[in-house]
Amino acid sequence: MNEEQRLAGELKERTYRLFGRSLHIRTFDSGSCAVCESEIRLLSSPYYDLHRLGFFFTPAPRHADLLLVSGPGVRAADTALLKTLEAIPEPRIVLAVGACALGGVFAEDELVHGRVDEVVPVDVYVPGCPPSPLALLHGLLVAVGRLEEKVEVLRFDLREEATA
Amino acid sequence: MIHAAAICLVAGAAAWLVGVAVGTLARRSGGVFGAATASATGGAAAAVGGVLVAVHGEGAARTIGAGNVVGAVTLRLDPLAAVFIAVLGIVALAIGLYVPRYHHAGAGSAWYLPALNLAFFASLAVLVAGNAVVFLVAWESMTLFSYLVVLRHHRRAGVARAAFLFLALGETGFALVVAAFAILATQTGTLDFAGMAAAAGHVSAGWRDTVFVLALVGFGFKAGLVPLHIWLPEAHPAAPADGSGFLSGLVISLGVFGITLFAFELLPDGPPWWGILTMGLGAVSAVLGILYALMERDLKRFLAYSSIENIGVILTALGGAMIFNAYGQREIGAFLLLAGLYHVVNHGVYKTLLFLEAGVVEHTTGTRDMDELGGLIHRLRASAVITLIGTLGIAALPPLNGFVSEWLIFQGLFQGFRIGNNFVGILIVVAGASLALTAGLAVMAFARAFGIPFLGMPRSRGAAAASERGQPLVGPGLLAAACVGLAIGAPIVLTVLDRVVRATSGVEIHSRLLLPQLTVIPAHTDFAAFSPTYLAVFLLCVTAVPLLIYFSSRPRGATQIVPVWDGGILEFRARMQYTATTYANPTRVTFDELYRPEFHLERASDDPAGRSGPVHYGFRVMPIFERFLYRPIVRAVERLADLVRPIQSGDVNLYLLYLFLMVLVAYLIYTY
Amino acid sequence: MLWFLRGIRRGVVTTRYPRARDSWAEQLPTPPAFRVDLLTPELAARLADVCASGALRLQNGDLLLDLGSCTGCGDCVAVGGEAVVPSGEFELASRDRAALVKRIPIGERR
């Protein structure tokens, strides 16, 4: 456990050093309904303002550090998604956002994979349908190591005392 | 030195006559090679001779056979003509080196190569003519032999018509030139050029104006001045590539020579409106030339319109020179004349180069249509580099020769404020602005003309199958080297041209042209300065130094070679690229009122996405000069001919009556 | 007339996240939380049936909540009555997909 914690800490340290204050994000829509995209778009609005955190959107994968994938992994977009990922220079982070991308909304069939981590290796999963801009910000900050993951310690089973 | 020059020119002429004889043997490849060698040798000799005369800076003349029936034959070595002789020499040399790999032995070559050599000989005769008769005979011969050159592939569709248009307009121009010489000769009493120049001051202003306008229009037909230019876009694609190079590089420059002959030698010190007229026509030609060039898909038609544009630029410079001279600013006038001559030399070099390369492209891919070419830079590597040098030259990009001569022209025109008359100053500014518009459009046009055929992926099987084996390289390569040399060696060229201008107009501007540090100044020290040589060195360093740094330092970390980012598409196909038509579409939309194109659109069905079959789209620019100028004139002439036709009834008795009436009239005139 | 002073009048509207949470954030559509004392096996089976995206599943007598698949539609909250409430948790990002699957014990009584 100590070794794992140490390695996790080191990884967090390295990512924070590389990307902590300046991260360029390239979004990719792998067949989503575009609601995730509108939440992503809201990140640029004055209310959420991701620029104050040092995050920027870029259309060019060559300039990007992070690939943000939404949608259930439509097979027709496989080539484009893989090419986009390969065009991002390492070190790079992959974020899957939305219930579709995490699997569970669409079953696998001849048109979709159902989950994007069958196509690209995913580093951070952000649930939600759609994930609100605050959830997206949380996910991005977790990805660069500026925030700790919370979900491990969250409990969704309540006892009587909890409702007090 | 002048004797050496004369010997060189005689040697050149002799070489070309030998080429005529050898060319008749061109049914065999030995004949082709021999005729080409003779052309090239003649070209080299003529170029050397021309440069020697220009450097010598003084003219000389000799009259042969005075006092016989036909008239004396006067030949002269004139520095102004020598510049054009040098251009002729370089063009002939390059064509001579190009011909063996371009023309096949056979019956066609057996009359074509003698005609080509005779055209060279006749052009030289035009440039060494010392009196009006020699000039006119040589001019007409030059037109006729150029006509034969254009007719090389006379069995192909459209060639005969194009050649006929060339001849018809050439003869119209010739008629006007004959009229000009006739009037000037009768008013000055002599046919000799030196005599005419000396006596021109005594001719009345009305006659001088008439002669100048006749000469401007007559030579304008040959030079390709708008609206007298319509033969150019037809004749250049019809002629073989070396013929087009000759036409564009030299023949239209001979039109310019004719205008300079009248404007600066025979009738110097004309009123300002001569210069304004010339400059106005030049500016219009420049702008319209490049605008129509942008709409062309055929490489050779495109280059033909570009020639019209360049002639416009040259005549703007010459017109400006005449205006400055008329208002007493003789240094700037001489400077602009020098700039115009520099541009003539440059145009001769790079336009010939581009036409020769267009011939190479046509030969190896089978098409001249830009929309069917592509990717030639991988298949024709050396030719692509040579073409690139020529394209950079003609687009007037530093540090090449086009940039130097256009800089000179602009700097001359910008000094219009030194003329007292504000209205004329504004006209000069407008001309300068037109040239600036032209230069910008020219960069776009040549980016298109080089980019679409040479870069990207091939758009047709012909383009994909292109190969450089067996294609001529030495001739065009020589011209590319000349482009670079004319730029870096600009101080030398300017020194020589300064001597020419001094001999022509009597004004010496050497001290106000070149500073000791290889810097060029436009006739005034406090206006502008620029060094072509140092600019070339500087640009070389700017590109070389980062490359040196990159190659000398070892990059840290592993280098990955990854595919080019293409947007993530599945497969890149040639049809996804820009075509020449779409690249020029913004211009077409902007200048829609000028082009007034007719569109036609064919679809296999009503599906707007074209999924059920191909969609054909085409457009044709309205030919405004043919429709609104030439066709009405031709119809009027035809109607007039119809009115007169009844005279030729075919009845012998009527003809006898005509004879009787003419004798009666002659008798009456004689007695009274 | 003083429209250009609107920004000054309204003050800073940007959220302070992550330094401070917005008060309204809990009312976003979020995965459910379960009152395990009120949860019966029958109710659990009904909830698993009603879940539109299959985030709620029965396994070995426990209810599995896949946070990754939950769309926050609220059908389970509507059906479950007092046993199911919206959790108000939206900071659910994780590096591990398996960590997003939560086990809800059924019918535990303290």
Domains and CATH numbers, chain C: 26-105 (3.30.70.3270)
Hey, is the C-beta of A81 within 8 angstroms of any chain B C-beta? yes
List the single residue in B560, B565, B569 with the smallest CB-CB distance to A61.
Answer: B565
Instruction: State pLDDT tens for residues B239-289.
Output: 999 999 999 999 999 999 999 999 998 988 889 999 999 999 999 999 999
Q: Which two tokens stand for residue A10?
A: 């080191």
Phi-psi region of B458 (alpha: psi -120 to 50; beta: other; left: phi over 0): beta
Question: CA B618 to CA B602: how far, in whole Å?
Answer: 9
The complex's ipTM works out to 0.88
Q: Identify the burial level of C101 via C-beta atoms within 10 angstroms of its C-beta, where 0-12 means exposed, 13-18 middle and 19 or more buried.
A: middle
Radius of gyration of chain C (CA): 19
The C-alpha torsion from B85 through B86 and B92 to B97, rounded to 10°, is 160
Q: Which of B393-397, B552-556, C61-65 has the lowest mean pLDDT?
A: B552-556
pLDDT of residue A164: 43
Hey, is the C-beta of A125 within 8 angstroms of any chain C C-beta? yes
Distance from CA of B587 to the nearest CA of A (A): 29
* Residue type, position B21, single letter: A
> Beta strand A55-57 with A23-29: parallel, antiparallel or unpaired?
parallel
Write down the pTM of the prediction: 0.84
What percentage of residues in chain A have a pLDDT greater than 70? 96
Q: Identify the burial level of B591 via C-beta atoms within 10 angstroms of its C-beta, where 0-12 means exposed, 13-18 middle and 19 or more buried.
A: middle
Phi-psi region of B374 (alpha: psi -120 to 50; beta: other; left: phi over 0): left
Taking an 8 Å cut-off on Cβ atoms, the answer to whether B565 and A80 are in contact is no
Taking an 8 Å cut-off on Cβ atoms, the answer to whether B568 and A60 are in contact is no
Distance from CA of A48 to the nearest CA of C (A): 6
Across B18-32, average pLDDT: 82
Question: CA C48 to CA B628: how far, in whole Å?
Answer: 84
- Chain B residue numbers with beta carbons less than 8 Å from the beta carbon of A60 are 565
Judge whether residue B383 has pLDDT over 50: yes
- Chain B residue numbers with beta carbons less than 8 Å from the beta carbon of A81 are 568
Q: Which two tokens stand for residue B456?
A: 């990207």
Q: Which of A66-70, A103-107, B604-608 has the lowest mean pLDDT?
A: B604-608
User: Do the Cβ atoms of B207 and B179 come closer than 8 Å?
Assistant: no
Judge whether residue B511 has pLDDT over 70: yes
* Confidence band, pLDDT 50/70/90 cuts, at residue B30: confident
Residue of C nearest to A129 (CA): C71
- Chain A residue numbers with beta carbons less than 8 Å from the beta carbon of B561 are none
pLDDT of residue B309: 97
Hey, is the C-beta of A87 within 8 angstroms of any chain B C-beta? yes
Taking an 8 Å cut-off on Cβ atoms, the answer to whether A125 and C105 are in contact is no
Nearest to B342 by CA among B318, B325, B307: B318
Across B175-193, average pLDDT: 91
* Confidence band, pLDDT 50/70/90 cuts, at residue A111: very high
* Confidence band, pLDDT 50/70/90 cuts, at residue B527: confident
Across B570-587, average pLDDT: 89
> Beta strand B615-620 with B598-603: parallel, antiparallel or unpaired?
antiparallel
Hey, is the C-beta of A121 within 8 angstroms of any chain C C-beta? no
Assign 3-class secondary structure to B66-92.
CCCCCCCEEEEECHHHHHHHHHHHHHH
Taking an 8 Å cut-off on Cβ atoms, the answer to whether B568 and A84 are in contact is yes
Question: CA B348 to CA B356: how far, in whole Å?
Answer: 12
Hey, is the C-beta of A75 within 8 angstroms of any chain B C-beta? no
Per-residue CA distances from B448 to B49, B95, B357, B621 (Å): 38, 26, 16, 18
End-to-end CA distance of chain B: 58
Q: Which two tokens stand for residue B318?
A: 């010459």
pLDDT of residue B557: 67
- Chain A residue numbers with beta carbons less than 8 Å from the beta carbon of C65 are 156
Pairs across A and C, CB distance < 8 A:
151
List the single residue in C35, C54, C70 with the smallest CB-CB distance to A127.
Answer: C70
Highest mean pLDDT (candidates B39-53, B163-177, B603-617): B163-177
pLDDT of residue B398: 86
Hey, is the C-beta of B646 within 8 angstroms of any chain A C-beta? no
- Chain A residue numbers with beta carbons less than 8 Å from the beta carbon of B560 are 89
Distance from CA of B567 to the nearest CA of A (A): 8
Q: Pick the more confident residue, B519 or B76.
A: B76
pLDDT of residue A79: 93
Question: CA B495 to CA B508: how far, in whole Å?
Answer: 11
- Chain C residue numbers with beta carbons less than 8 Å from the beta carbon of A155 are 33, 102
Chain-centre distance of CA B221, in angstroms?
12
State the architecture of A18-163 in CATH terms: 3-Layer(aba) Sandwich (3.40)
Question: CA B446 to CA C58: how far, in whole Å?
Answer: 72
- Chain A residue numbers with beta carbons less than 8 Å from the beta carbon of C93 are 124-127, 135, 138-139, 142-143, 149-151
Judge whether residue C110 has pLDDT over 50: no
User: Do the Cβ atoms of A98 and A130 come closer than 8 Å?
Assistant: yes
Taking an 8 Å cut-off on Cβ atoms, the answer to whether C91 and A126 are in contact is no
* Confidence band, pLDDT 50/70/90 cuts, at residue B222: very high
- What are the extents of the domains in chain A? 18-163
